């Protein structure tokens, strides 16, 4: 499932984050890439182990913790702290697949990368090109979202970032290991959860059918979750 989550960041939060990133040291993005990815990657990143990288990653993680759509769709167990990238004119990232396992810096832990997320931080009129392209078995999906919006998609998808032809495209990106390994099961839980929320707003949390569906949701989650 590919999910567009709007307004993850408010305009005020975007202004703060962008001002902090403007002060940061940007380095060659290939330093965080795997073998295949490094050969097609041409961008800049904030070093993840820098004080600024850790500070802004923590800021984003706190926002994600309170975002109901992200938590409903991803069912996160562990999240790699967000990284921050920048594509200036002429920069791109060719078709690649992300590593199946990634370390969580400073913890000695590795996660299975089930779900990828890109949080756009540049206004659409600030750059041209720079589309995120997801390659499916029968079609390509092109993603270019307003600043503050986020796209969530299965990490198994082959993807690329097209060349920026004007301006500069900034974003945060990260991976999550879900409590629910199966994408199909995550999709079912997400659809069920959204249906329950809609019915609850119409009929109230004590409605018997809402309660029955809520019970089904938790029983499925109990059956499918891996902790």
pTM of the model: 0.94
Number of domains the chain is built from: 2
Which tokens is 20 given?
């902090």
Residues 115 and 169 in one domain: yes
Residue 215 has pLDDT above 80, yes or no: yes
Question: Residue 63 sits in a domain of what CATH number?
Answer: 2.60.120.620
- What's the domain range around 41? 3-178
Residue 1 has pLDDT above 90, yes or no: no
**From residue 66, how far is each of 63, 135, 214 by CA, in Å?**
6, 30, 20
Question: Residue 217 sits in a domain of what CATH number?
Answer: 4.10.860
pLDDT in tens, 11-56: 999 999 999 999 999 999 987 766 667 789 999 999 999 999 999 9
Residues 210 and 102 in one domain: no
Tokens 């009929």 correspond to what residue? 203
Residues 150 and 209 in one domain: no
Residues 213 and 137 in one domain: no
CA-closest candidate to residue 142, choices 154, 152, 150, 130: 130
């Amino acid at each position: 499932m590919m999910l567009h989550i709007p307004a993850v960041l408010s305009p005020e939060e975007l202004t703060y984050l962008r001002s902090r990133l403007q002060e940061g040291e940007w380095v060659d993005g290939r330093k965080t890439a795997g073998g295949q990815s490094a050969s097609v990657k041409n961008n800049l990143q904030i070093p993840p182990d820098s004080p600024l990288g850790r500070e802004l990653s923590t800021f984003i993680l706190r926002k994600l913790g309170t975002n109901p759509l992200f938590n409903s769709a991803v069912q996160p167990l562990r999240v790699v702290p967000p990284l921050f990238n920048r594509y200036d004119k002429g920069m791109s990232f060719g078709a690649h697949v992300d590593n199946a396992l990634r370390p969580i810096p400073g913890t000695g832990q590795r996660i299975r990368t089930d779900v990828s997320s890109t949080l756009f931080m540049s206004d659409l009129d600030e750059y041209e090109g720079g589309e995120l392209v997801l390659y499916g078995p029968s079609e390509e999906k092109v993603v270019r979202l307003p600043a503050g919006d986020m796209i969530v998609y299965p990490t198994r998808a082959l993807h690329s970032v097209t060349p920026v032809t004007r301006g500069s495209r900034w974003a945060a990106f990260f991976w999550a290991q879900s409590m629910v390994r199966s994408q199909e099961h995550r999709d079912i839980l997400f659809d069920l959860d959204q249906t329950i929320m809609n019915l609850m707003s119409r009929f109230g949390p004590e409605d018997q059918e809402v309660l029955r569906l809520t019970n089904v949701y938790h029983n499925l989650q109990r059956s499918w979750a891996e902790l």
